[in-house]
Amino acid sequence: MNGMDVAHLPARVRIVEVGPRDGLQNEPQPVPTEVKVELVQRLQAAGLREIEVTSYVSPKWVPQMADNHAVMAAVQRQPGVRYAVLVPNLKGLQAALADRPDEIVVFGAASEAFSQRNINCSIAESIERFAPVVEAARAAGVAVRGAISCALGCPYEGDVPAARVAEVAQRFKAIGVQRVDVADTIGVGTPLKVQRVIAAVAQHYDLDHVSGHFHDTYGQALANTLAALQMGVWNFQSSVAGLGGCPYARGATGNVATEDLVYLLHGLGIDTGVDLRALAETGAWISARLGRPNGARAGRALLARCAAETAAASER
Ligand code: HMG
Ligand code: MG
């Protein structure tokens, strides 16, 4: 029989929920700290076991993340949940360590223009800057992940060769970054390109330590996820209700919605540990709090079906 060989799909996927960070960082209106805290808590109650909570970046660059300390202090942590935060430099690391994250994320790019716009330095300078950050974090017992932005294309430079992405992965490996995110910052990737880029990154990182971070701007994120799954990737990042976008990638929409990702994975018989109904309710709740449409198609469909069933039951 032709078609997908289910035996080659992973039995389990670990999702890193990035909604509180990637999802909210681009919100134009200040989101109250207590809403951010409640979002994290609802996500962990829905079964997410890795959550990117906030970032320790310049508040002049990203004002929405300025309440990082307050958010980290207020979240009631659950055992077994990994709380990650973004850190661009030593100043950010020092601030972050005070709040005891389980993991920090350094973020570099495979495109020079994006590196300059996002973190105000070249790719080579960023690696030099990250090296002592990684060393100090690991010395403090904190895990380190590295995001490679523009791995599938750049808003300023266009196409990005897979070899350039592999080069950043190699440099991350050399400074002690433990796992990497192949990030499609502007959601332009398509499945075969995703597979080529992941194969290039896999020259330097075991696939167990590679995750897919797909924004859904062109509607390709689930197809890209499936392409990565078929290669053996089993770590993915997503944002509840499809929130978000990067402030330095104009026009880019949010990450793939976690609800849509979970629906796909459960449909493939892959375990995520996530309660889709509780997640969908969280997506509806945060969308209402932000006054935006809910970007999770599976979330909307599931809640509409539940509402219809409840209405039908009350008529009986
Ligand atoms: P800079 O201006 O070159 O830094 O910015 P600087 O060292 O010259 O310092 C300038 C000012 O910033 C100083 O304050 C520093 O104290 C302060 P002043 O003296 O002017 O009052 N500063 C800081 N404040 C708080 N925390 C810090 C910090 N560092 C310096 N850590 C810098 C360089 C990296 C700081 C800046 O460019 C920045 O904050 N960029 C962050 C951009 C960002 O957060 N982007 C979004 C996250 S990445 C993303 O979304 C992509 C991802 O999802 C994957 C994907 O989809 O591609 C991860
Ligand atoms: Mg992102």
Closest CA to 10 of 277, 239, 210: 210
Q: What is the pLDDT of residue 253?
A: 86
Instruction: List the residue whose alpha carbon is closest to atom 56 of ligand 1.
Output: 185
- Tell me how far the alpha carbon of residue 29 lies from the centroid of ligand 2, in angstroms: 19
| Nearest ligand for residue 94 CA | 1
Average pLDDT over residues 4-16: 84
- Tell me how far the alpha carbon of residue 107 lies from the centroid of ligand 2, in angstroms: 10
Instruction: List the residue whose alpha carbon is closest to atom 28 of ligand 1.
Output: 58
CA–CA separation, 43 vs 218, rounded Å? 26
Q: Does the pLDDT at position 105 exceed 80?
A: yes
Q: What is the pLDDT of residue 247?
A: 67
- Nearest atom, ligand 1, residue 60 CA: 12
- Nearest atom, ligand 1, residue 118 CA: 42
Average pLDDT over residues 21-47: 97
Per-residue tokens: 313: 């039951």
Bridge partner list, 12: 271
284 lines ligand 1 (CB under 6 A): no
Instruction: List the residue whose alpha carbon is closest to atom 32 of ligand 1.
Output: 119
pLDDT band at 4 (very low <50, low <70, confident <90, very high): low
- Tell me how far the alpha carbon of residue 268 lies from the centroid of ligand 2, in angstroms: 25
- Nearest atom, ligand 1, residue 25 CA: 46
pLDDT by residue (tens digit) across 156-194? 999 999 999 999 999 999 999 999 999 999 999 999 999
Q: What is the pLDDT of residue 315?
A: 87
DSSP sequence for 104-157? EEEEEESSHHHHHHHHSS-HHHHHHHHHHHHHHHHHTT-EEEEEEETTT-BTTT
Contact (CB, 8 A) for 30 and 22: no
How many other C-beta atoms are found inside a 10 Å radius of the C-beta of residue 202? 18
Q: Does the pLDDT at position 1 exceed 60?
A: no
Q: What is the pLDDT of residue 141?
A: 98
Contact (CB, 8 A) for 302 and 260: no
pLDDT band at 95 (very low <50, low <70, confident <90, very high): very high
Q: What is the pLDDT of residue 2?
A: 46
Of 107-111, 195-199, 282-286, 307-311, the poorest mean pLDDT is in: 307-311
Average pLDDT over residues 70-88: 98
Active site residues: 246
Please enumerate in sequence order all residues whose Cβ is within 8 A of that of 205, keeping only pairs 6 or more positions apart, or say none. Answer: 169, 173, 179, 180
pLDDT by residue (tens digit) across 242-278? 998 666 777 778 999 999 999 999 999 999 999 999 9
- Nearest atom, ligand 1, residue 109 CA: 57
Q: What is the pLDDT of residue 303?
A: 97
Name the residue with tokens 């799909």: 9
Contact (CB, 8 A) for 260 and 298: yes
pLDDT by residue (tens digit) across 53-70? 999 999 999 999 999 999
CA–CA separation, 45 vs 66, rounded Å? 25
Mean pLDDT of the residues in the chain: 95
| Nearest ligand for residue 186 CA | 1
Q: Does the pLDDT at position 6 exceed 80?
A: no
H-helix segments, the chain: 33-45, 68-74, 90-97, 112-119, 123-139, 162-174, 191-201, 221-231, 258-267, 276-290, 297-315
Q: Which one of 57, 117, 123, 239 would you pick to mutate in the ligand 1 pocket, going by the greatest count of ligand atoms within 8 A of its CB?
A: 57
- Tell me how far the alpha carbon of residue 312 lies from the centroid of ligand 2, in angstroms: 41
pLDDT by residue (tens digit) across 216-249? 999 999 999 999 999 999 999 999 999 986 667 7
Closest CA to 231 of 191, 266, 259: 191
Name the residue with tokens 């969908």: 280
Question: Homologous superfamily of 10-315 in CATH?
Answer: Aldolase class I (3.20.20.70)
Q: What is the pTM of this model?
A: 0.96
Instruction: List the residue whose alpha carbon is closest to atom 13 of ligand 1.
Output: 58
- Tell me how far the alpha carbon of residue 88 lies from the centroid of ligand 1, in angstroms: 6
Q: What is the pLDDT of residue 8?
A: 82
Q: Does the pLDDT at position 302 exceed 70?
A: yes
